Chains A and B, each alone.
Chain A
Amino acid sequence: MAAEEEERALLGPAGGDDGGRSPGSPRALPAVCDPRRLPHRLLVLALMCFLGFGSYFCYDNPAALQTQVQRDMKVNTAQFMALYAWYSWPNVVLCFFGGFLIDRVFGIRLGTVIFSIFVCVGQVIFALGALVNTFWLMEVGRFIFGIGGESLAVAQNTYAVSWFKGKELNLVFGLQLSMARIGSTVNMNIMGWIYSRVQDLLGYTGPSTLGLTLMIGGVTCLFSLACALILAYLDRRAEKLLHKEQGKTGEVIKLTDVKDFSLSLWLIFIICVCYYAAVFPFIGLGKVFFIEKFKFSSQEASAINSIVYIISAPMSPVFGLLVDKLGKNIIWVLCAVITTLASHIMLAFTFWNPWIAMCLLGVAYSLLACALWPMVAFVVPEHQLGTAYGFMQSIQNLGLAIIAIAAGMILDTRGYLFLEVFFSACVCLSLIAVVMLYFVNHLTGGDLNWSAKKREKLQKVAAAEVEEQERLRRQNEDDLAKLQPKADDFSLRNKYLSKLGAQGSEAVAESAAEDNSVTFSEIRYA
């Protein structure tokens, strides 16, 4: 069979040649088909990137079509925002189980396909709900979409870890996140156009116009499903040919760890929840805000509403590097929160050109993502990291769901000024948490706000000592320690930092943790 021939072709030259680069060999597979060679891995990389494209594209469909959804489905803003809340609800729980499902139940390949199917089916039901003019069906669609979307992001990262290692992995995470940003941005700017084309085609506006538009948007999900299927095939083929193991998330979640969380960690949670609650629901409602308050045209409003995503793509690596080199995470978080507060206040109380405020928001958002997420690793022991990140995402989703609905209700009854004041108050709450975190950290002598230099110095001093301790510890509990090879620690953190899903997969931090996860020798954010 062809597969056997492939195997022979691969295994033959693999004896001495580590890269499998034997272009002269007549039996060699074409480069694109050889799992060890760059062209093939690039193909896999492309598939991985497009795996998440559909879900990122469709996540913000409601924001891109807010006026149309509200007009055609005759819903108020609170009901409209429920579409976002329904996405978040399943993830309050699923954050803890996504990894488990992939590792123990489905396996990465089947898991990815299943999650992609959830995304597709969710989007189709969402569109169908519009077609038959039943709003609750749309909500059901968003719920199913939410089940798939967030877990798909976990699967995507797991794939990346299983195919790419080390430096490559940084790039891969970066590319995946850029793809996410592109998905969101393209959605924001193209859905309105598609709607107007469908409207021209049908000759009228109404639920069926909306439904058809969303169906067309759903094509991206089908495309992603196709990527998932091809990826599953290629992964299986690679497993056969290279005897490679199926990727695992390596996620360990123990809910009882929650009681051991420090005050600092809880403060970080508060910062996270309050901050994201003031950014994502705002973007969800943003388009109409710019149209009504600033008299923007529909296209212009779409553009300004997607600027946060656009800015965060190039700025994240820059800030990642900056925070990595300078340390002092709390100060950076403080700057980001204050800037966000300023931009919300600007949007609330002035008619200044909103591009200024939105660009500031975009910059602040990128900065916060780069400085906040890695802090968790400083205040949590390695073995609790999974639980900490799972918990952080869970309450982030809970916060987003609740705030989304509250924001819709506030808009309907109190208007945009009050809504902006509400968002400002949320940011202030996270500001309070940052200030508290600063003092708590200062008083308890924590390392959150050390500069990178100091960290390095102290780390060198401690290195020998730690090594000694580590040796002792390993002797004592050799099983546990040896079960987790270094590469896994490394990829573990990667995953947590990057699986922040459709709303916020912003941070990819990578740590080549030498021992107790104090060192972030290499952090990359995209």
Chain B
Amino acid sequence: MAAALPLLLLLAAGGGAGAEGGRQVSMQYNPGWNNSSVNLLHVRAVGPSDTLHYVWSSIGAPAVLLVASASRSSTLRVNWTQLLSPAPAGAIWIDPPGSVVYSTAVVFTKVFEYSEAKTLEELFYPTYDLSDFSWDSINRTLNHTALTAEFTGIPATGPSGSFSNGSLAFRVTAYEANGRDGPLPSLLHTADSSKVEFVLAGVAPRGNSSRFALEVATVEETGVVQKLRSARSIDDEYTPTIFETLSLVAQSQNGSSTLSFLQWKATAYGSQTPRREDSIQCRSHGLQAANWTLPMSSIVHAYFGEGVGSTYTISAINISFGGEDGKVYQEKRYLSWSVLLGFGQPPEDTFSPLVISIMAVALGTPMVMLLVGSCVVLFVQRKRYSEYEPIN
């Protein structure tokens, strides 16, 4: 689309600023609506010359709207009565509309539970449709200093069966500057990105070898090309023993610039304090164009309108958790998977200074010793010869 070029320029400037001063991030819960029965979280990240809007909401399926605006003063407008009506199209917009250079959305639609029997026949249990969940108010979980919030939900039918003792949650973290998370998977992030962590805690599996998969749908304006990239890196020092990083990038039509990304490591963890041995294998199953209409994710409808296929397209990807033996979840009853979503190029891990310096010292010292040793030997021999000379 035409907006791709300005975005590129914008993020080039913004990225530079992000590295230096970062962004001013503010969080606002249900702006302009004094009711906590629904959740809408507006994260506004203001850079030197632009603003990034993240709109998280659990109205309908949990979703996030990412909008880049070329104005520092752009604001989010919500027409609440329309948003909560059956026809929400046009209920959310950025003011001024002309400042918007790029927008996309990510919707977490479904959680599948299946068991992989030995016959390789997958047995699917009834799917958890996240748009049918009821979500706790995030107001209590909102942390304005750590910039985090947590959407916790259980099926709308009530806490029975598998969810009698458990819940499903999306933990959102916004970033002001470039950096790296402390706990595993220690994703590297930019100031132009946010993190969401999908957490299944205490949900009882319905079978002996149950595995879970999360369906993630992305909404892109027509003309934007999406690609799933799997990068195998030799560098696993930040996420021990995980060598694969996956990223779902949205590129402008001519493929010249990356507009936005979802990035994750091929692992989930089975513990609240993740360690290497809690790792749960995570696989992604090919990106597919989704022809279906989006489930009731109101903010996507509210922002993009009803033009599926004409003004925007939907793709979906399944992320499944559990390796050859899906035992870890059975034991721990905990699963957390982190994904970074943001604008521009996804960040790439580089060798830590420690690794580089160890290699430099380790390889350099023998070389230096070889040189010094040779000099000493030459010197000593010359001395010997000069001592011998008078005798000869």
- Is A329 on the interface with B (CB-CB < 8 A)? no
- Residues on A with C-beta less than 8 A from B354 are 418
Instruction: Kindly identify which residue among B241, B243, B277, B369 contacts A435, using a CB–CB cutoff of 8 Å.
Output: B369
| Beta-carbon nearest neighbor of A434 in chain B | B366
CB-CB under 8 A for A416 and B240, given A70-B277, A411-B276, A428-B366: yes
| Beta-carbon nearest neighbor of B236 in chain A | A415
Whether the pair A428, B237 counts as a contact (CB closer than 8 A) is no
Interface flags, A273-310, vs B, CB<8A=1, else 0:
00000000000000010001100000000000000000
Whether the pair B362, A415 counts as a contact (CB closer than 8 A) is no
Whether the pair A435, B370 counts as a contact (CB closer than 8 A) is yes
- Residues on B with C-beta less than 8 A from A443 are 376-377, 380
Whether the pair B362, A424 counts as a contact (CB closer than 8 A) is yes
- Is B164 on the interface with A (CB-CB < 8 A)? no
Whether the pair A432, B358 counts as a contact (CB closer than 8 A) is no
Instruction: Kindly identify which residue among A76, A349, A431, A438 contacts B275, using a CB–CB cutoff of 8 Å.
Output: A76
Whether the pair B355, A417 counts as a contact (CB closer than 8 A) is yes
- Residues on B with C-beta less than 8 A from A432 are 365-366, 369
- Is B134 on the interface with A (CB-CB < 8 A)? no
Whether the pair A424, B234 counts as a contact (CB closer than 8 A) is no
A421 and B355 CA atoms in complex are apart in Å by 7
Residue among B232, B239, B240, B373 having the largest count of chain A Cβ atoms under 10 Å: B240
Whether the pair A417, B327 counts as a contact (CB closer than 8 A) is no
- Is B325 on the interface with A (CB-CB < 8 A)? yes
| Beta-carbon nearest neighbor of A424 in chain B | B362
A168 and B359 CA atoms in complex are apart in Å by 47
Task: Write the nearest CB–CB distance from A42 to chain B, whole angstroms.
Answer: 46
Whether the pair A428, B363 counts as a contact (CB closer than 8 A) is yes
- Is B235 on the interface with A (CB-CB < 8 A)? yes
| Beta-carbon nearest neighbor of B243 in chain A | A293
A205 and B237 CA atoms in complex are apart in Å by 30
A351 and B358 CA atoms in complex are apart in Å by 21
Chain B interface size band reads 20 to 34
- Residues on B with C-beta less than 8 A from A424 are 359, 362
- Residues on A with C-beta less than 8 A from B325 are 71, 205
- Residues on A with C-beta less than 8 A from B241 are 288, 292-293, 411, 415-416
A438 and B373 CA atoms in complex are apart in Å by 9
- Is A436 on the interface with B (CB-CB < 8 A)? yes
- Residues on A with C-beta less than 8 A from B235 are 417
CB-CB under 8 A for A412 and B276, given A205-B327, A348-B234: yes
A415 and B232 CA atoms in complex are apart in Å by 15
Task: Write the nearest CB–CB distance from B73 to chain A, whole angstroms.
Answer: 44
A350 and B369 CA atoms in complex are apart in Å by 27
Interface secondary structure of B, over-half rule: helix
Task: Write the nearest CB–CB distance from A71 to chain B, whole angstroms.
Answer: 7
Instruction: Kindly identify which residue among A288, A411, A439 contacts B373, using a CB–CB cutoff of 8 Å.
Output: A439
How many contacts between A and B, using CB within 8 angstroms?
Answer: 90
Interface hits, A428-458 → B, CB 8 Å: 428-429, 431-432, 435-436, 438-439, 442-443
A77 and B279 CA atoms in complex are apart in Å by 13
Task: Write the nearest CB–CB distance from A519 to chain B, whole angstroms.
Answer: 27
Interface flags, B349-392, vs A, CB<8A=1, else 0:
00000110011011101100110010011001000000000000
CB-CB under 8 A for A435 and B366, given A71-B327, A76-B276, A417-B355: yes
- Is A425 on the interface with B (CB-CB < 8 A)? yes
Count contacts on A: residues with CB < 8 A to the other chain.
36
Whether the pair A428, B355 counts as a contact (CB closer than 8 A) is no
Whether the pair B358, A412 counts as a contact (CB closer than 8 A) is no
- Is A413 on the interface with B (CB-CB < 8 A)? yes
| Beta-carbon nearest neighbor of A74 in chain B | B277
Whether the pair A417, B237 counts as a contact (CB closer than 8 A) is yes
A425 and B276 CA atoms in complex are apart in Å by 23
A422 and B235 CA atoms in complex are apart in Å by 14
- Residues on A with C-beta less than 8 A from B243 are 292-293, 416
Whether the pair A425, B362 counts as a contact (CB closer than 8 A) is yes
Whether the pair B276, A435 counts as a contact (CB closer than 8 A) is no
A351 and B327 CA atoms in complex are apart in Å by 29
- Residues on B with C-beta less than 8 A from A383 are none
Whether the pair A414, B240 counts as a contact (CB closer than 8 A) is yes
Whether the pair A415, B234 counts as a contact (CB closer than 8 A) is no
Task: Write the nearest CB–CB distance from B379 to chain A, whole angstroms.
Answer: 11
Whether the pair A349, B236 counts as a contact (CB closer than 8 A) is no
Interface flags, B16-59, vs A, CB<8A=1, else 0:
00000000000000000000000000000000000000000000
Interface hits, B321-357 → A, CB 8 Å: 325, 327, 354-355
| Beta-carbon nearest neighbor of B351 in chain A | A417
CB-CB under 8 A for A412 and B277, given A435-B373, A439-B376: yes
- Residues on B with C-beta less than 8 A from A425 are 358-359, 361-362
Whether the pair A421, B370 counts as a contact (CB closer than 8 A) is no
A70 and B328 CA atoms in complex are apart in Å by 12
CB-CB under 8 A for A349 and B240, given A428-B365, A442-B377: no
Task: Write the nearest CB–CB distance from A504 to chain B, whole angstroms.
Answer: 23
| Beta-carbon nearest neighbor of A430 in chain B | B366
A417 and B237 CA atoms in complex are apart in Å by 6
Task: Write the nearest CB–CB distance from A18 to chain B, whole angstroms.
Answer: 57
- Residues on B with C-beta less than 8 A from A416 are 236, 240-241, 243
CB-CB under 8 A for A351 and B234, given A205-B327, A412-B276, A442-B377: yes
Task: Write the nearest CB–CB distance from B209 to chain A, whole angstroms.
Answer: 11
Whether the pair A421, B240 counts as a contact (CB closer than 8 A) is no
Whether the pair A415, B373 counts as a contact (CB closer than 8 A) is no
A383 and B369 CA atoms in complex are apart in Å by 34
A348 and B369 CA atoms in complex are apart in Å by 24
| Beta-carbon nearest neighbor of A337 in chain B | B366
Enumerate chain A interface residues (CB-CB to B < 8 A): 70-71, 74-77, 205, 288, 292-293, 348-351, 411-418, 421-422, 424-425, 428-429, 431-432, 435-436, 438-439, 442-443
Cross-chain pairs A/B with CB under 8 angstroms, 30 sampled: A71-B325, A76-B277, A77-B276, A205-B325, A292-B241, A293-B234, A348-B234, A350-B234, A412-B240, A412-B275, A412-B277, A413-B240, A413-B276, A414-B237, A415-B276, A416-B236, A417-B236, A417-B237, A417-B355, A421-B355, A421-B362, A422-B358, A424-B362, A425-B362, A432-B366, A432-B369, A435-B366, A438-B373, A439-B377, A443-B376
Known: A350-B234, A414-B240. 5 other contacts (CB 8 A): A292-B243, A415-B240, A417-B355, A425-B358, A428-B366
